[in-house]
Amino acid sequence: MPPKHKPGHGRPKKTAMRDDREKEREKNEAGLVDNGLVDLALPPMTPRKSRQKRVAYALLSWDDLPAWRRDNVYVQTGYRPTSHSYIASFASVAAIHNESVNIWTHLGGAIVATLLGLTLYVESSEIAAYWASLNETLPAVTAWLASVTTTALAATGLDDLVLPLATSTAAGDPSATLVLSCFAGGAVACLGMSATYHALSNHSPAVARWGNKLDYTGIVFLIVGSYVPTLYYGFFCHRWWMTLYLYSIGVLGTACLVVSWLEHFRTPAWRPYRALLFVALGVSGVVPIAHSLFWLESGATLGARYASLNAKIGLGWVLLQGALYVFGAFLYAARWPERQWPGQFDIWGSSHQIFHVFVVAAAAAHLRGVLQAYMHHHQQYHVLGATCPAS
């Protein structure tokens, strides 16, 4: 009879080798190998560990990807393994891979937009309400405090942003806060949804599809939200046209949402057409701008009418925003520069990453234009809409 294996005396050699091979195969299938490509620090496995347990994630190549993750053949390396875990996908944000730029450009933009929104709406509204209540009982003290506040805001460089908004809020102009909120909310939604999608894009087919729909939804929110203050200020004294254009942009944005959520239009083959659809939404504001510039603005020359509209809506910044969107979308659809140099822009500088940077830059340009329009209207009317030229 063959000798029996005794507990505590090891185990048969073949069984141990087979178990080791199975464990190695399981690690490879999960994409977990200790090759030093990306070293991601994770929390300790047990309290007794004095150092962090480190798990290295292997970056995969295009050939290693399942079919549902294959999108851009010209980006050949730098892919995270499929995680099937929300924790693992979010933890990989701290590593370097070909989604890092996509995640961090929009995550950073969402954080900045949120903080800016809080500065413009929460703090200014509280300051305005405080001054208004004091003004009823302590006018002299109010004047002194307002002077101190103005000096403090000027020292921090916030006076041009906060004080006009605080003044209008105190004067009872919630519409200004509403239209600015549309833009700020659209920016936060777009950038936040985009960062979330790219962080979870390696989770599973179902989560990736859901996240991609959110990504397109956020783009629609940003574009439509950007046009709300522009149309509001540009057509404030032409309410019928303002209403018509706001509804038109809303309908076009809704159509983009419907198309974005249909599975048929989410395949790589439809990428150029999806991009063109969103370009159409992005440049749809050309019609109301041209209408205002050539028919509604006063001025003997085109230059004079441009100057008038530029003061009203920050037209130069709006045009810059549109150019950034269009150029970024063109690179994204053409997949340049990685199409020209495959594998050279896998981690840094691919067309999708460039598009993300352009989206943030376009949002910043539009914000500058909106603030210019806001300050122009409140300096001219004190309370927006108190005076409109006779038609």
334 vs 358: CA distance, rounded Å: 15
Q: Pick the most confident of 124-133, 140-149, 202-211.
A: 202-211
Say whether pLDDT at 205 is over 80.
yes
Q: How far apart are the first and last CA of the chain?
A: 110
Q: Which one-letter DSSP state was computed for residue 391?
A: -
Query: What is the dihedral angle through the alpha carbons of 13, 19, 21, 26, rounded to the nearest 10 degrees?
Result: -170
Q: Which one-letter DSSP state was computed for residue 119?
A: I
Identity of the residue numbered 285: G
- Average pLDDT over all residues of the chain: 78
Say whether pLDDT at 388 is over 70.
yes
308-329 mean pLDDT: 91
Q: Which one-letter DSSP state was computed for residue 293?
A: I
Say whether pLDDT at 172 is over 70.
no
pLDDT tens, 345-355?
A: 999 999 999 99
Predicted TM-score of the model (pTM): 0.73
- pLDDT at residue 136 in the model: 54
Could you list the residues known to form a binding site, using ranges.
198, 352, 356
- Residue 335 CB burial class (10 angstroms; 0-12, 13-18, ≥19): buried
Residue 56 CB coordination number (10 Å): 15
pLDDT tens, 173-183?
A: 577 778 888 99
- pLDDT at residue 96 in the model: 96
Sign, CA torsion 104/110/113/114: negative
- pLDDT at residue 165 in the model: 53
Say whether pLDDT at 40 is over 70.
no
Instruction: Look at 189-193, 342-346, 373-377 and tell me which has the smallest mean pLDDT.
Output: 373-377
Could you list the residues known to form a binding site for Zn(2+), using ranges.
198, 352, 356
Per-residue pLDDT band at 160 (split at 50, 70, 90): low
